[in-house]
Amino acid sequence: MPYADLTFAQWNDLPDDAARRVAAGIADRHGLTPLGLEVRAYVGRSHRVARFDRDGMRFALVPGGRPTLGYDGSRFRPDSGQSADYAESADEYGLPPLNEFVDAMTTPERVTELPAMLVAVDAYDPCQILLEPDDPRVRELVATVEPGIGGRRTFEPDGGLHVEFDRAGRVTRARLTRQVSYDEAMAGIESLGLRTATPDEWEWACGAGAATLFRWGDDHPVDAYPSSLRVGPHREENLWGLAIGQDPYRQEATTEPTVVCGGDGGGATCGGSGFFLGWLTLATAYRDDDFGRWFASDDGYADEILTRPVIELS
């Protein structure tokens, strides 16, 4: 059976030895280093996770099948805290009833067919160029830092140089950020022999088949925005083992220039629109069409264009 035909049920029903052989076969065929298998539990569900390394970029196997994507807003049953919080936002901004709003801000339910694929564990930013600690630009910045002082210092020539130090003052990471267009960002990831996820692939990768509004359920804290909480179900790797949809400020571009997923650029949070509206931006099927069109326009801007790289299986 071609690896692309591997479904969620088939993969998890395989005996351990057979699963290891499949993972080894995928790694061999695509020039990857297998990182092993583990059974991952996430909010009451479990899945066998297979991870791979490709030149320092980690990937996880996301099985395929015929999943139901999208969300029917009429099914959402808010708790009292969510209802109260949304009522305040609705009153201030003239929003429609809660279920109607949720339905308008999520993609419609639909059944689609997706192949198995390898999806990057972490988002990738083609706007960033990693630098070695002995790069002259890094050394120039290090020379301005008081010895023995850790933390992060930023030096901004064209684009911006960001250098991180450990407590002993040693450089642990350095990167140069440059502004690029959407087309340049996509060309950058294609130059690595990769592509970014389609909107449907992103939803499947994020929700892993969960029928709830969020991949972890329908609830969320009603006293803080997601970006301000360093722990919680949104910060955990999901069922597939992906770090995805964790911060509304870190939205991800897809193959459709006007469709971004996993955030709204922090608009709801920065604008103080209300905790429910802030958390809704992390809903698996969330879409802000106006933000997407603006982000893809000549007026749109961002410090980074995050993507979710995909390796197609053969």
Domain match, 227 and 290 both: yes
Domain match, 154 and 191 both: no
Question: Which of 141, 158, 177 marks a domain boundary?
Answer: 177
DSSP codes, the chain: --GGG-BHHHHHHS-HHHHHHHHHHHHHHHT-EEEEEEEEEETTEEEEEEEEEETTEEEEEE-BB--EES--GGG----HHHHHHHHHHHHHHT---HHHHHHHTBPPPEE--B--EEEESS-B-TTEEE--TTSHHHHHHHTTSPTT--EEEEE-SSS-EEEEE-TTS-EEEEEEE----HHHHHHHHHTTT-EEPPHHHHHHHHHTT--SSBTTBS---SSS-GGG-SSSTTTS--TTS---S--TTS-EE-SSTT-EES--TTHHHHTT--HHHHHHTTSTTB--HHHHHHHHSTT---S--EE-EEEE--
Domain match, 194 and 275 both: yes
**Model confidence at 277, in pLDDT bands (50, 70, 90)?**
very high
For the cut 60, the answer to whether the pLDDT of residue 158 exceeds it is no
Q: Which single residue is written with the structure tokens 């995909």?
A: 310
Q: For residue 45, which of 197, 241, 203 has the smallest C-alpha distance?
A: 241
pLDDT at 148: 53
Q: For residue 238, which of 135, 138, 308, 137 has the smallest C-alpha distance?
A: 308
Mean pLDDT over 241-253 rounds to 95
Mean pLDDT over 69-89 rounds to 97
Domain match, 148 and 91 both: no
Domain match, 105 and 28 both: yes
Domain match, 228 and 270 both: yes
pLDDT, one tens digit per residue, over 280-314 is: 999 999 999 999 999 888 777 666 789 999 999 98
Domain that holds residue 151: 128-177
Q: For residue 63, which of 252, 262, 208, 211 has the smallest C-alpha distance?
A: 208
Would you say 206 and 244 are in contact if contact means Cβ atoms under 8 Å apart? yes
CA atoms of 244 and 208, how far apart (whole Å): 11
**Model confidence at 114, in pLDDT bands (50, 70, 90)?**
very high
Q: Which single residue is written with the structure tokens 């029917």?
A: 72
pLDDT, one tens digit per residue, over 205-218 is: 999 999 999 999 99
Domain match, 241 and 116 both: yes
Q: For the sheet with 260-261, list strands across it.
A: 260-261, 252-253, 306-307
CATH number of the CATH domain containing 290: 3.90.1580
Domain match, 261 and 289 both: yes
Residues paired with residue 116 on neighbouring β-strands, in sequence order: none
Question: From the CB of residue 177, how many other CB atoms can be counted at a distance below 10 Å?
Answer: 18
**Model confidence at 84, in pLDDT bands (50, 70, 90)?**
very high
Phi, psi of 120 (to 5 degrees): -60, 135
Domain match, 163 and 294 both: no
Domain match, 258 and 152 both: no
Domain match, 280 and 219 both: yes
Domain match, 108 and 169 both: no
CA atoms of 304 and 314, how far apart (whole Å): 31
* Residue scoring higher pLDDT (98 or 298): 98
Q: How many domains does the chain have?
A: 2
pTM (2 decimals)? 0.88
